[in-house]
Chain A
Amino acid sequence: MRRAYNLRHVVSTSPPWSRYDRLGRLLLENRLMLEIRRLNVSIGGRKILDDCSLTVEDGEVAAIMGPNGAGKSTLAYVIAGRKDYRVESGEVILNGVDLLALEPDERAARGLFLAFQYPIEIPGVATMTFLKATLNAQRKQRGEAELSTPDFMRRVKGAAERLGIKPDMLKRALNVGFSGGEKKRMDILQMALLEPTFCILDETDSGLDIDALRVVADGVNTLRAPHRGFLVITHYQRLLDYIVPDRVHVMAEGRIVKSGGKELALELEKSGYRNYLTDPDQAVA
């Protein structure tokens, strides 16, 4: 089931180095964290990702921007292993492991975390219970001992305080009756507790006011570390003022059409996505 990333295989089947110089360099330096290779994905017969390729290196914060319908959320879900999608071809490799062969929970245990655009409500399950169950499940998968209750409480309380999450929220059922901002903060809290090596933030800014956005961004920024990668999916430049990316990728019509530094985000803010679409009239604001 779990295929190790075969370097020779990649090199031998890759297109000429000139087009993939960055990939080649990363491979040689062994700094590649996430690699998506020629991913083709459809849902209900409709193609959403079209030969999509992307690399994120160790410790990098990459941003994906693009118009609605470009396939950004699909990419996030496919990386995390949601089943509604049909992966026709391609590979998603995280830290040398092909994720596509794994169940979502196995991907999580390998350090993948997805902050949902719309976090899910789970009635009857107290947030605290949920946090403890997930933390211990992941530790178990990694062969680590379960946390003692006091140790667990200490961690949760510390993280909650930093994110401005009130203790009574932890007693309530997970996400049930939470405001949009509270749900997002709850996701960031989980991110802090689970200590993933790679985080995907799917439109984390949607539905947040500026204060909530700052709290969430601060939460993310404190988690930035040399061996933790981020993929920040967003529609607007606004979030990137707070979470400053190392690289910006433009996604349109199911693939990455342009990559650059953080200045690319500013450029997009001015020119919009029209230049990247084959039929600009199809673009939705």
Chain B
Amino acid sequence: MRSALPMVEAPGAAEIEALRPDFSHPGALAQRLVLVDGVFAPELSSAMPEGVRVRSLASVLNEGRADLIALLAPANADGADPILSLNAALMQDGVVIEVAPGARSDDPINLVYASTPGGPSARFSRSLIVVGAGASIRLAESLHVRAARADETFSGLQNFNCLQNFNCLIASVGEGATFNHTTRMTGGEPGGVRVESLIASIGAGAQFDSFALVTGAGLIRRQIFMRFQGPGAKSALRGVSLLRGREHADTTLVVEHAAPDCSGRQLFKYILDEEATGVFQGKIVVDPLAQKTDARMLSKALLLSDTAAMNNKPELEIFADDVACGHGATSGGLDADQLFYLQTRGLPFAQAEALLLEAFAGELIDGLGDENLAEVCRSEVRAWLSRRAPPGVHS
């Protein structure tokens, strides 16, 4: 386990101002909410779609709105998980997003985590999104990685990136609402630690989907605590993790069916190279009331080197009898027959391998439903594959 770093100080106006060029160019993300070192920076953020109200966590806490504060401390996860307890104790700020009932936006709201330069440090944020009944909204989380500037040395940049991020997002999805969440946990480096928690409660007839692309950080943990609160809701949770070096990525899921007739799908894929370790621990809990639950969980891992490791722990905890629940887990290398087939068709081994790996990850990316984001993810996968050492070097 890495040691905890000192907490970063709240950013000053000048530090925030220094980041402005990163967000003022024409290609900058629209509908953007920027947190700098865990503190909401309205000056770097941009306009929200209609029906979406945003305030900082600090102002909501000052206001003392009991309904929002109750949502910020969800009973099903807080206290049960040490990381969330740590987050509750140390959170610096965050955003509170309220989406009015019936509001719609096809373009995502972008929640961006930026950092000020400085020594190694840790930052904690807690954000809340309340999706009103019948609303339809997308939220995309990403880590802001500054391009190296001429005046910075490579080692300086590395130092700058050596950060610990503990972000927590709480989602309350109202009846009949649609909430699509994505996170790109990419652009870190070997010393970095990223822990993202997502706590979601899903109302009757709602749809909640979440996707994560995970690459490049020393230690990554993504945890989702999700609860079907009302009947007839649907959810698909998906993720792709691409790991190399001594990276370690952990996906921890608890999917609780507390209401009948809900359908949950979870599919997580791992590509593990060099000395990387992948962990998947997923648990489906079906309460006695949750009859007619339809729950499926699957994890698939490809190990590309002798020193990579995958640990799977898919659990079922079922207390209702009229359910169809299942989980599956596979791990292994690339299919030799497929590789051979591609080679007989003229592809060099490395290319055949890349093709199969891209297809393996692509299955999830293709289903994203947001073509812009899908393209970003595809190029990140290709970039990751292109950095692969030629076959045979590490084995």
Establish whether A and B are touching in the complex (CB under 8 Å). Answer: no
